[in-house]
C-alpha cells in the first residue's frame, strides 16, 4: 500500500497526538467537555467547509492526488478537509485552555 496517499491524514493525526498532553498534563479540559466542544466547532465547520467547496469549485486551490486518500464526501469534499476543520480548531482550543490554566488567568 502506498503510504504517501495518507500523508495529509497522518499529518492531522500527528496534530491530535502532539496536542494531547495539553489536555492531560496541562489541564486544558477541552476533550472532557464534549458538549461545549461541539457547540464551538459546529458553526465554523459549516462556514469553512462551504468556503472550501467554493474554492475547490472555482479553482482557488486543489489537492495533490499523490498525498490524499481520494476518499471523498458529498460535493467531492476530500475526507482530509473535513478532518482539518475538526482537528485544527481543537488544537487551537487546547492551546487556549492550556495557556489559561498555566498562566492561571482568563
Partner 1 sequence: MEYTWPAIVSVLVVIAIELFWLKTGLFRKVTFYVSWAIILFFMVLVDGWLTKLSAPIVLYNPAENSGIRFPWDIPVEDYLFGFALITLTMLLWDRAGRGEPDDGSSRRTRILLIRRR
Residues that bind partner 1 (CB under 8 A): 7-8, 11, 15, 18, 29, 33, 36-37, 39-41, 43-44, 47-48, 51, 55, 58-64, 66-68, 85, 88-89, 91-93, 95-97, 99-101, 103-106
- Residue 63 sits at the vertex; the CA angle it makes with 13 and 69, to the nearest 5 degrees, is 50
31 and 91 Cβ atoms separated by less than 8 Å: no
Query: How near is the Cβ of 5 to partner 1 at its closest, in Å?
Result: 11
Helix (H, G, I), strand (E, B) or coil at 30: coil
Query: How near is the Cβ of 90 to partner 1 at its closest, in Å?
Result: 8
Measured from the CB atom, the residue of 1 and 104 that comes closer to partner 1 is: 104
CA distance 102 to 20: 16
CA proximity to 16, closest of 82, 90, 85: 90
Query: How near is the Cβ of 87 to partner 1 at its closest, in Å?
Result: 10
Amino acid at each position: 500500500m502506498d503510504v504517501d496517499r495518507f500523508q495529509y491524514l497522518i499529518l492531522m493525526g500527528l496534530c491530535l497526538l502532539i496536542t494531547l498532553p495539553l489536555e492531560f498534563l496541562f489541564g486544558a479540559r477541552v476533550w472532557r467537555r464534549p458538549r461545549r466542544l461541539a457547540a464551538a466547532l459546529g458553526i465554523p465547520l459549516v462556514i469553512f467547509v462551504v468556503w472550501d467547496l467554493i474554492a475547490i469549485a472555482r479553482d482557488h486551490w486543489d489537492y495533490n492526488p499523490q498525498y490524499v486518500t481520494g476518499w471523498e464526501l458529498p460535493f467531492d469534499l476530500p475526507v482530509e478537509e473535513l478532518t482539518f476543520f475538526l482537528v485544527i480548531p481543537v488544537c487551537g482550543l487546547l492551546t487556549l485552555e492550556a495557556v489559561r490554566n498555566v498562566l492561571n488567568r482568563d
